[in-house]
Amino acid sequence: MATIKPFARPGFTMFNNYILDHIMPDLSASGWKVLCVAVRQTVGWQDEETESGRREMDVISYSQFRQMTGIGSDQTVARAIKECVDKGYMLRVPGEGQEISYGLNID
């Protein structure tokens, strides 16, 4: 069995220090987890078609948020997303049908 070294390169998503110093303490534990998923699913991916070279939005289901955060209920995920959107850290954009895209509020 291979030893996993999660803090070794490659395979990382960069966080600006401001996020860790100011935004993390401003969020609940669930809000922080949801924001981390949004960071991973957006700027954590390359997208050559965008100006930044990173993915700007992604369709993320509640089940994906639950799986990636360890949060147990859709209700808690919904509250955490609302917290991140209300505080201006995340964007929530309705798409076609039931699809909702999430992104980071870079403004």
pLDDT in tens, 35-57: 999 999 998 888 888 888 888 99
Answer yes or no: is 6 within a domain.
no
Neighbours of 69 (CB within 10 A): 19
Question: Is the pLDDT at 21 greater than 90, yes or no?
Answer: yes
- At residue 67, the pLDDT reads 98
Answer yes or no: is 10 within a domain.
no
Cα 28–Cα 34–Cα 39 angle in degrees, nearest 5: 120
Structure tokens at 68: 């990636």
The model carries a pTM of 0.88
- At residue 1, the pLDDT reads 66
Domain count within the chain: 1
Answer yes or no: is 51 within a domain.
yes
Considering the chain, what is the average pLDDT of its residues?
A: 92
Answer yes or no: is 8 within a domain.
no
Answer yes or no: is 84 within a domain.
yes
CATH of the domain at 60: 1.10.10.10
- At residue 12, the pLDDT reads 74
Answer yes or no: is 30 within a domain.
yes
Segments forming the whole domain that contains residue 28: 17-104
* Structure-token match 């997208």, residue found: 47
Strands (E), 1-107: 57-59, 90-94, 100-104
Answer yes or no: is 9 within a domain.
no
